[in-house]
């Protein structure tokens, strides 16, 4: 796909988008988009791997204008009604969602949504029920590794961890640790993060800049409770993204249930309204199993969303709804190729062809 991608991105997608092919070939069911907030104005990329999940305000505005012109953006309420009754939706329906509940949701994303008179379903974690804004634990870990020396050693014998990490291994080691730390419940995980911080030689105030700087705090901190209320009062729909954003497949059964169920109850108590939608943290096939899908249903949600692409039809399981992940580098044509499902089909085609080539060459 690596060699094919530039050709698709720069030649094929613009041509097909301009010619209206994507609209004509659009899926029949609704398409759900996943954003992760907006990069605040003046923000300079700190963590390329994670920042790539956020879009600029200009791109977001441009994408919303494009959708309003050529697609039908539906409200979360209309989506819920469709889920429950399968009442017909307009053709080329699109639902906007945004994960993690970063402060930029309120300060940067909401104004653009209001300009366009559109609603979005925001998935927030239990951290947004606190009066003090905090960072997502796995982003905090990534920032610590970025600030650490080019190579470092880490030893946490209580969880069987001993590693020598070189600069080029930092990202893969970070991801390995995200999996490992997800095995622990929220308070234990926090303590382990503190131990890692100390091992790396950082003081408790190492992240003060991220908390105090107005731009960095919008990018990295999650909404506080009063900010969450402001988002809900502005007419946005609030969904759940678990208590502490672990990779649920790695959690014990008891912890996974607590993450899903307690968070729903806490959020409903705080907002005084039903929370009907869940977005599984990370949301890919390695972080969500059938156990979590069953838990979402048992907890009383009406629908739950993954972060894997695919079409939604009347038969798509309500607790495993796919979404299209929007990233910072998408052009408008690429954006439309993703919405129409064309990108996914191409990806599968190329994958099958390369598999065939590999298998063929071995025979």
Residue numbers of the site for Zn ion (CB under 5 A)?
99-100, 281
Residues in the chain: 363
Least spacing, CB of residue 160 vs Zn ion, in Å: 27
Structure tokens at 101: 């509940």
The answer to whether the beta carbons of residues 277 and 242 sit under 8 Å apart is no
Element spanning 59, H or E? helix 57-70
Nearer to Zn ion, 248 or 312 (CB): 248
Per-residue tokens: 110:
């909401």
- Both tokens of residue 153? 């050693």
Q: Which residue is nearest to Zn ion (CB)?
A: 99
Query: What is the rounded CA–CA span in Å between residue 36 and residue 50?
Result: 10
Q: Report in angstroms how near the CB of residue 250 gets to Zn ion at its nearest.
A: 15
Provide the β-strand partners of residue 124: 240
Residue 307 or 340: which CB sits closer to Zn ion?
307
Q: How far is the CB of 109 from Zn ion (least distance, A)?
A: 15
> Looking at beta carbons only, is 148 or 177 nearer to Zn ion?
177
Q: Do 306 and 300 contact (CB within 8 A), yes or no? A: no
Residue nearer to Zn ion on the CB measure, 89 or 96: 96
Ordered DSSP codes for 152-195: EEEEEGGGTEEEEE-GGGHHHHHHHHHHHHTTS-HHHHHHHHHH
Q: Which is nearer to Zn ion, 281 or 322 (CB)?
A: 281
Nearest-approach distance from CB 127 to Zn ion, in angstroms? 11
Distance of closest approach, residue 240 Cβ to Zn ion, in angstroms: 11
């Amino acid at each position: 796909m690596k060699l094919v991608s530039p050709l698709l991105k720069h030649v094929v997608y613009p041509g097909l988008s301009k010619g209206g092919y994507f609209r004509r070939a659009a899926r029949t069911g609704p398409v759900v988009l996943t954003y992760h907030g907006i990069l605040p104005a003046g923000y300079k990329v700190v963590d390329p791997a994670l920042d790539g999940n956020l879009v600029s305000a200009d791109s977001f505005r441009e994408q919303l204008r494009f959708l309003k012109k050529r697609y039908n953006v539906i409200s979360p309420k209309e989506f819920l009604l469709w889920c429950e009754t399968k009442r017909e939706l307009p053709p080329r329906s699109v639902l906007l969602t945004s994960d993690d509940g970063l402060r930029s949701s309120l300060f940067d994303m909401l104004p653009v949504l209001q300009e366009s008179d559109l609603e979005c379903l925001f998935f927030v974690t239990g951290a947004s029920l606190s009066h003090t804004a905090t960072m997502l634990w796995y982003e905090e870990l990534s920032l610590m590794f970025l600030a650490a020396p080019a190579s470092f050693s880490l030893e946490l014998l209580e969880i069987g961890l001993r590693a020598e990490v070189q600069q080029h291994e930092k990202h893969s080691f970070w991801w390995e640790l995200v999996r490992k730390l997800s095995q622990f419940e929220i308070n234990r995980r926090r303590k382990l993060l503190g131990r890692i911080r100390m091992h790396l030689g950082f003081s408790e105030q190492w992240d003060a800049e991220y908390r105090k700087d107005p731009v960095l705090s919008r990018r990295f901190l999650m909404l506080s409770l009063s900010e969450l209320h402001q988002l809900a009062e502005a007419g946005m729909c609030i969904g759940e993204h678990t208590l502490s954003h672990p990779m649920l497949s790695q959690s014990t059964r008891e912890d996974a249930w607590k993450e899903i169920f307690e968070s729903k109850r806490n959020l409903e108590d705080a907002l005084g309204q039903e929370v009907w939608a869940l977005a599984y943290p990370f949301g890919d096939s390695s972080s969500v199993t059938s156990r979590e899908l069953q838990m979402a249903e048992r907890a009383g949600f009406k629908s739950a969303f993954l972060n894997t692409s695919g079409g939604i039809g009347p038969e798509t399981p309500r607790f495993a709804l796919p979404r299209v992940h929007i990233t910072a580098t998408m052009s408008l044509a690429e954006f439309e190729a993703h919405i129409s499902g064309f990108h996914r089909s191409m990806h599968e085609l190329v994958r099958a062809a390369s598999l065939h080539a590999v298998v063929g060459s071995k025979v």
